Amino acid sequence: MLIFTKKDLRFYALMIVMLLISIVTPISLNTNKIEETTSNAIDTTCILIDAGHGEPDGGAVSVDGVKESDLNLQIANKLKDELALKGYQVMMTREDENNISGLNDDSTIRSIKSQDINNRVNLANSCGADFMISIHMNKYEDPKYFGWQTFYSKNSEQGKRLAECIQSGIKETTGIDNKREALKIEGIKIIDKTTIPAVIVECGFLSNSDECVKLQDENYQTQLVEGIICGVELFLKRGRSLFLNF
């Protein structure tokens, strides 16, 4: 049988209190640190949203005459609103149906497209955004293909990570079993020439009649937008956890 004196009890009580302090204190400090970092990152993160194409360049057109440029803008606007609600700073390359070449209608469509892309790249490189998301719609001669796909440049590891996060984020929110993966492409100026991480999100195929209908549906557009945001937050959290581990 063990017999404790008052002195022993005081000693053990003191040891227990010190042990509790040593366990609890680092956790509460770490928690504060993570929360502080999280809110700072969200307050200062600035995202440039690029609605691809714009009159007179409608981009891809479905057999029913649905224009890519219109759907790109609808989804880009939804994305802007949702990101702003979450406290992110958001900028847009275009906010109406027109391209941003600054050229008049007398110019050839080729020169308008070329100047338009140059202006978008220059904006991305000078506006102070942390990264850019370029919204597009896909089209292919065989109508059987469907599903979103993200693209990144070989020049950007961060762009690759962002593309992978968005690819899986949309899978999460739509619940659609899309086997496509984020893909590296070359020779696409909007992501090759930008100095910030940049990704293209091809939201789906206008050449697939079922998907073309869905892409015009407000609820599906919202699911796509939520998926992109899910990817953005995955991308940012990974960045922060790497920072904290360091």
Tokens for 217, please give them.
């549906």
Any contact of residue 231 with Zn ion (CB under 5 A)?
A: no
> What binding mask, one character per residue, do residues 10-49 give for Zn ion by CB under 5 A, x or -?
----------------------------------------
Closest CA to 143 of 90, 228, 241, 64: 64
Task: Answer yes or no whether residue 52 interacts with Zn ion by CB under 5 A.
Answer: yes
The least distance separating Zn ion from the CB of residue 21, rounded to whole angstroms, comes to 59
3-state secondary structure of 142: coil
Is residue 204 involved in binding Zn ion (CB under 5 A)? Answer: no
Give the DSSP letter of residue 66.
-
* Stretch of residues binding Zn ion (CB under 5 A), selected from 9-17, 29-37, 50-58, 123-131: 50-58
Nearer to Zn ion, 52 or 197 (CB): 52
Shortest distance in whole angstroms from residue 144 CB to Zn ion: 20
For residue 59, state whether it binds Zn ion (rule: CB under 5 A): yes
Residues 115-144 vs Zn ion: string with x where CB under 5 A? Answer: ---------------------x--------
Task: Measure the CA–CA gap between 120 and 45, rounded to whole angstroms.
Answer: 19
Q: How many residues touch Zn ion (CB under 5 A)?
A: 3
Residues 230 and 172: beta-carbon distance below 8 Å: yes
Residue entry with tokens 């992501």? 191
Q: Give the per-residue SS3 of 164-216.
A: HHHHHHHHHHHCCCCCCCCEEECCCHHHHCCCCCEEEEEEEECCCHHHHHHHC
Least distance from Zn ion to the Cβ atom of residue 57, Å: 9
Q: How far is the CB of 78 from Zn ion (least distance, A)?
A: 17
From CA 138, how far away is CA 87, in angstroms rounded?
A: 30
Contacts to Zn ion by CB under 5 A: 52, 59, 136
